[in-house]
Amino acid sequence: MSSSPLSGIKILDLTRVLAGPLSAQMLGDLGANVIKIERPGTGDDARAFGPPYLADSEGKENNNNSFYLCANRNKRSVTVNIAKPEGQEIIRALAGNVDVFMENYKVGNLKRYGLDYEAIRKINPDIIYCSVTGFGQTGPYAPRAGYDAIFQAMGGLMSVTGHMDGELGAGPMKVGPSIVDYMAGMNTSIGILSALYHKKTRGGAGQHIDICLLDTVIASLSHYLQIYLVNGKTPPRRGTWGNGGMPAGVFRCTDGELMLVVGNDGQFARACVVLGVPDLANDPKFAKNNDRVVDGKEIMAIFAGLMLKSKVAHWLGELEKAGVPCGPVNDLAQVCADEHVRARGMEVKVEHPFERSLSLIRNPLTFSGTPVTEYRYPPRLGEHTCEILSEELGYNSAKISELKVMGVI
């Protein structure tokens, strides 16, 4: 079997919470050697983000919770107090022998400790130093802190998400998961991989990568923001309605709901046949998608009435046979039980010291030649401190013990 795509790449990961750790996990999945730096005693802030927690062998909950577990597999954890000079020296020593340095501290914080890009570049001129922050390294908001929901609000995502005006509960709404963190994590991985390619295959130099959550969410608005840039009008909130073809949205059936997206005129005609109203496709008001989109309320109301005549399974089967895109509205239990999801192996099992068969979400990338096959459990706090300090820096047991007494590790 071929080696993993990033075998031989070494990453020093000083990121916390979600966006940065997700990216470092992605790179670890691809074979990079990721050394995660955590604060002694408390560790990554995500470890305190609430239940559920794993229980240890004595049944006691600990700092291995779901938020932390989702973003930290395939790493080794080292505890270092970077507020102490000895801790800063450990980070600098480790940085001298890595390809990538990742951090998500507030702008200027690491400079106080001599761990900013300019300081690390003096130690390792070829370093790829990636900073993940809420507002970026430049601009009037750069010093501010922030979390995913703040950027959903400030970046415009909430303004176009939620029930339509006039409906019960109308108003801006946050997307459920921390979607901006996830997208920023992907952008971080893309940036680091691009910089590695530039350096290793093009003979380029190391560089500083500036990943910003606000930039990320604005870019993610894609066609919504482009509408505003073209005509100066903000698209309205559309609830569960689709964003192109029409009719598209969640429709109630006799025993539940399904999501239907009619993407073109051919699909509309076939959907009309399935619903028992073939002549509707020839109605001048609905024959062309542009006409259906301009005033979607009427066609959505017609389809809503027709869908109420049968069960979800009936409509899904008939629409699928007709080649009309649709799907059930699944909860997470139904997602995990879905035969296709199971066939794709989206849930993987790893052996954890506190859970013999811990379920994790597999890496979504699928390679024919270099598949992701290794899933090592998210490390316990400081689990690899002695190992890394010994292997990477040559510290003996006496020095490691002294650093522990000093509160450095």
- Residue of higher predicted confidence among 243 and 263: 263
Alpha carbon distance 25, 363 (integer Å): 9
Average pLDDT over residues 145-154: 96
Per-residue confidence (pLDDT) for residue 267, from 0 to 100? 97
- In DSSP terms, 119 is beta-bridged to none
pLDDT in tens, 357-392: 999 999 999 999 999 999 999 999 999 999 999 999
Per-residue confidence (pLDDT) for residue 201, from 0 to 100? 87
Pairing type for strands 326-328 and 256-261 reads antiparallel
Contact 74, 381 (CB under 8 A): no
Average pLDDT over residues 154-170: 94
**Single-letter amino acid code for the residue at 187:** N
pTM of the model as a whole: 0.94
Per-residue confidence (pLDDT) for residue 138, from 0 to 100? 97
Which residue in the block uniquely carries the two structure tokens 């096959």? 373
Task: Compute the chain's Rg from CA coordinates.
Answer: 25
Catalytic-labelled residue, pool 181, 255, 265, 295: 181
Sign of CA dihedral 204, 208, 211, 214: negative
Alpha carbon distance 108, 127 (integer Å): 19
Q: Do 248-335 and 10-219+345-406 fall under one CATH topology?
A: no
Average pLDDT over residues 93-98: 98
Q: What percent of the chain has pLDDT over 90?
A: 92
1-10, 192-201, 268-277: the lowest-pLDDT one: 1-10
Whether residue 163 is predicted with pLDDT greater than 90 in this model: the reply is yes
CA 135 to chain centre: 18
Task: Give helix then strand counts, H and E, for the chain.
Answer: 16, 13
Average pLDDT over residues 77-103: 98
List the domain boundaries for the chain: 10-219+345-406, 248-335
CATH class of 248-335: alpha beta
Whether 181 is catalytic = yes
Per-residue confidence (pLDDT) for residue 25, from 0 to 100? 98
Average pLDDT over residues 6-30: 97
Whether residue 2 is predicted with pLDDT greater than 60 in this model: the reply is no
Question: Which of 63, 77, 68 has the alpha carbon at shortest distance from 18?
Answer: 68
In this prediction, residue 1 has a pLDDT band, given cuts at 50, 70 and 90, of: very low
Q: What is the largest CA-CA distance in the chain?
A: 85
In the chain the first and final C-alpha atoms are separated, in Å, by 38
| CATH number of the domain located at residue range(s) 10-219+345-406 in this protein | 3.40.50.10540
Per-residue confidence (pLDDT) for residue 224, from 0 to 100? 94
Q: What percent of the chain has pLDDT over 70?
A: 100
Average pLDDT over residues 233-261: 93
69-78, 204-213, 290-299, 343-352: the lowest-pLDDT one: 290-299
